[in-house]
Amino acid sequence: MGVTRVIIGVPKEICPGETRVALTPANVTVLKKKPDLRILIEQGAGDAAGYPDSEYQAAGAEIVSRDNTFEQADIVLQVQTPGSNASNGADDLGKLRANQIVIGMMDPLANPSFASTLAEKNVTGVALELVPRITRAQAMDVLSSMAMIAGYKSVLMASTASNRMFPMNMTAAGTLAASRVFIMGVGVAGLFACSTAKRLGAIVEAYDVRPAAREQILSVGAKPVELDLDTAAAEGKGGYAQAQGEDFLKRQRELMTEVVSRMDVIITTAAVPGAKSPILVTEDMVKAMKPGSVIIDLAAERGGNCELTKLGETVVEHGVTIIGPSNVPSSVAFHASQMFGKNMENLLNLLIDKEGKLNLDFEDEIVRETVVSHDGDVPHTRMRQLLNLPELAAPSQDETPAT
């Protein structure tokens, strides 16, 4: 696919509670260095994140209406595309047109049918959640960027909800013991939760089913909790945790009950891409916790790691406060947008060459792994499997993939 002049459009996010924006003025400044590139920003698109229209204009963008953004753009950039925005995403889906490209979060593994929907409209879809975990793609990895922010913010949420201070304090009124904070799941979110809690002065312990996580836990100043479990098959492709069987999870819960009973704060982050979050904290484990303890369940959007979590609510059960937040990165919209926008900028630099021409090179692993719909079809291998579509024939040696 190639055009002589690329027009990028950034509409305002309409998903309830979404305050991020897909590009910041700093990203516009960099992208505008490409010849003839136009960038359209819907009026007010960055207001909620702290990026006014005037800053976009100063960077070289054009401020237009929502309809003009969708009508003119060759590439539409969104934080939440209709694939991940189940609330009112249909409003935007109707605005997408044939031969357009939409890039953003699509929740592709949980909502694979969206790829088929885009293919039917002859829209090319690029799902940011599928950026491969390879060195060259790290600068495009929005999942890691947003997880970092969620991990940081989860600790602040816990400290606010807790009836205890985090650091130890020796005062004239006596010594205040440090809070004990337990992080369950130490991917990017968990590691940043560990380091943030440590900086606040808490005694931090952490657990992850992946054996390789032990060194990572130690690297951020936390103490690894080790259980007598066979975890050889716990890590899947790309370093993500792999779903475990119910027997494994039952044994894990039994061993974990004694650990959680001595904690003041628990932050759970365990998620498996495209699957329901595993239950790590049962109601019986909550009953064993101290009165006034706090659980922050960062996996709430996938059903939660705690059996008693309610998405978007704060509940008190058996004397324990359980918070199930949704879209945590949006609560830090300025920096979340800065990181998201930089990830998007780096991806666009791959898709748009120095001459300002668009080129989808399906021989590139990043393109191949993120494009879920193109040219009226679903070229992505895993998407086709989830949709029960027949396997695509490999191109012959004298053929090159369509671009």
Specify the pairing of strand 174-176 against strand 169-171: antiparallel
Instruction: Reduce the secondary structure of 328-339 to three states and give it as a string.
Output: HHHHHHHHHHHH
Residue 360 CA, chain-centre distance (Å), reads 24
**Active-site entry in 43, 57, 72, 138:** 138
Q: Which residues, 6+ apart, have CB-to-CB distance to 380 below 8 Å?
A: 108, 115, 130, 368, 369, 371, 372, 373
Task: Find, among 325, 305, 24, the residue nearest to 150 by Cα.
Answer: 325
Active site includes 138? yes
Task: Find, among 190, 250, 277, the residue nearest to 225 by Cα.
Answer: 190
**Can you give the C-alpha Rg of the chain in angstroms?**
23
**Active-site entry in 43, 57, 72, 144:** 144
Active site includes 216? no
Active site includes 133? yes
Specify the pairing of strand 7-10 against strand 75-80: parallel
Task: Find, among 165, 216, 212, the residue nearest to 190 by Cα.
Answer: 216
What is residue 372's three-state secondary structure?
Answer: strand
CB atoms within 10 A of CB 197: 32
Between CA 141 and CA 128 the distance in angstroms is: 7
Token pair listed for 68: 């003009």
Task: Find, among 139, 137, 114, the residue nearest to 127 by Cα.
Answer: 114
Between CA 226 and CA 206 the distance in angstroms is: 9
With 0-12 / 13-18 / 19 or more C-beta atoms within 10 angstroms meaning exposed / middle / buried, residue 286 is buried
**Active-site entry in 141, 208, 264, 297:** 141
What is residue 73's three-state secondary structure?
Answer: coil
Farthest CA pair distance, the chain: 82
Between CA 262 and CA 185 the distance in angstroms is: 18
**Active-site entry in 43, 57, 214, 240:** 240
Active site includes 240? yes
**Active-site entry in 53, 72, 133, 242:** 133
372 within 8 A of 380, measured Cβ to Cβ: yes
Question: Which residues are known to be catalytic?
Answer: 133, 138, 141, 144, 240
